[in-house]
Amino acid sequence: MKVNLSDTRKIIQQYRNKKGTLIPLLQEIQAIYGYVPKESIELISKELLIYPVKIYGILTFYTQFYLTPRGKHTIIVCQGTACHVMGGKDILDYLSNKLGISEGETTKEGMFSLERAACLGCCGMAPVVVIDNNFYGMCDIQKVDALVKEYRSKEANR
Ligand code: FES
């Protein structure tokens, strides 16, 4: 899909001649596109005279940045110790199989991205799954199966 670069151009203009602002610039790009497109990286490099390797260095160092399009919904499966012991690994494997993607990937139709996290700070609810900003505790295969169905049917009814 072709990326419309007009927003990238506007953001570059805001940051032109400002030193040390590459991270906020990239955050703004990601807020617009949902990830940082390679076409935007090329334009930033050309316009602000920054080597692409420096931009990619930042994008790959900070886990907040994505280099590929994200799904409409991000499913995070906690893999901290408590969740792992309570079946978090089985849930992650199940979702990976069900959705046909590995961690860090997005389904072909763009519906779901799958991620793992270290402890999410609510171990008493282990195993924990987060979809977008919604926490689901005491998860098992049946529960995550129902959640995937629920999110799919919400999208189908929009
Ligand atoms: S280990 Fe999953 S919330 Fe703490």
Q: Cis before residue 127, ω within 30 degrees of 0? A: yes
- pLDDT tens for 16-30 read 988 889 999 999 999
pLDDT at 17: 87
State which of 76, 77, 78 you would mutate to test the pocket of ligand 1, scoring each by most atoms of that ligand within 8 A of its C-beta. 78
Ligand 1 nearest atom to the CA of residue 117, by list position: 2
Claim to verify: residue 90 and residue 135 sit in the same structural domain: yes
In a domain, 68, yes or no: no
Claim to verify: residue 39 and residue 104 sit in the same structural domain: no
Claim to verify: residue 57 and residue 78 sit in the same structural domain: no
Q: Which residue, chain included where needed, has tokens 């670069």? A: 5
Q: Distance from first CA to last CA of the chain, Å, rounded?
A: 23
Q: What is the mean pLDDT of the chain?
A: 94
- pLDDT tens for 124-144 read 999 999 999 899 999 999 999
Ligand 1 nearest atom to the CA of residue 122, by list position: 3
Confidence of residue 157 (pLDDT cuts 50, 70, 90): confident
Per-residue pLDDT at 1 exceeds 80: no
pLDDT at 145: 97
User: Could you give the CA distance from residue 31 to residue 80 in angstroms, rounded to a whole number?
Assistant: 28
Residue 62: CB atoms within 10 A of its CB come to: 11
What distance in angstroms lies between residue 58's CA and the mean position of ligand 1's atoms? 28
What distance in angstroms lies between residue 153's CA and the mean position of ligand 1's atoms? 28
Claim to verify: residue 92 and residue 146 sit in the same structural domain: yes
Claim to verify: residue 152 and residue 91 sit in the same structural domain: yes
- pLDDT tens for 44-83 read 999 999 999 999 999 999 988 999 888 999 999 999 999 9
- pLDDT tens for 76-102 read 999 999 999 999 999 999 999 999 999
Claim to verify: residue 80 and residue 18 sit in the same structural domain: no
Supply the CATH number for residue 108's domain.
Answer: 3.40.30.10
Claim to verify: residue 56 and residue 98 sit in the same structural domain: no
Q: Structural domain of residue 48, as residue ranges?
A: 6-61
pLDDT at 19: 86
In a domain, 1, yes or no: no
**Could you give the percent of the chain with pLDDT greater than 70?**
99
